[in-house]
Amino acid sequence: MSGNLLDERARVFLCVYRAGSFTQAAKTLFVSSVWVMKQMNSFETSLGIRLFIRTNHGVIPTDAGQMLFDDLSRMEREGEDVLARVRMIANEKEG
């Protein structure tokens, strides 16, 4: 996930949210579902907020999880735009 300004756990959170489960997120990220689960447990603990309700069929975002997803998604898009502009300027100066 190079070229992303977000912290690793934030990127994993976004992937879990979009995938709807730890297992599907793990497949997308090419890692184990245990690693994904540990990342989310660590993220929730560090924030002091429960982001997902775990079920037998996947995860359901809490209200806080939904809000965080909305804000991190926006930050992800803005970060990509920033990096694109910075790279364009760097390429112009080098070229």
Which structure tokens are listed for 83? Answer: 């990096």
Average pLDDT, the chain: 91
Candidates 70, 79, 69; CA nearest to 6 is: 79
Mean pLDDT computed over 70-93:
86
**Residue 40: how many other CB atoms lie within 10 Å:** 20
pTM: 0.83
Quote the CA–CA distance of 84 and 36 in Å, as a whole number.
Answer: 28
Q: Are 3 and 80 in contact (CB under 8 A)?
A: yes
62-79 pLDDT, tens digit per residue, is 999 999 999 999 998 887
Please give the pLDDT value at position 51.
98
**Among positive and negative, which fits the CA dihedral 38, 39, 45, 49?**
negative
Residue 62: DSSP 8-state: -
Task: Give the β-pairing of 52-55 and 58-61.
Answer: antiparallel
Quote the CA–CA distance of 31 and 14 in Å, as a whole number.
Answer: 15
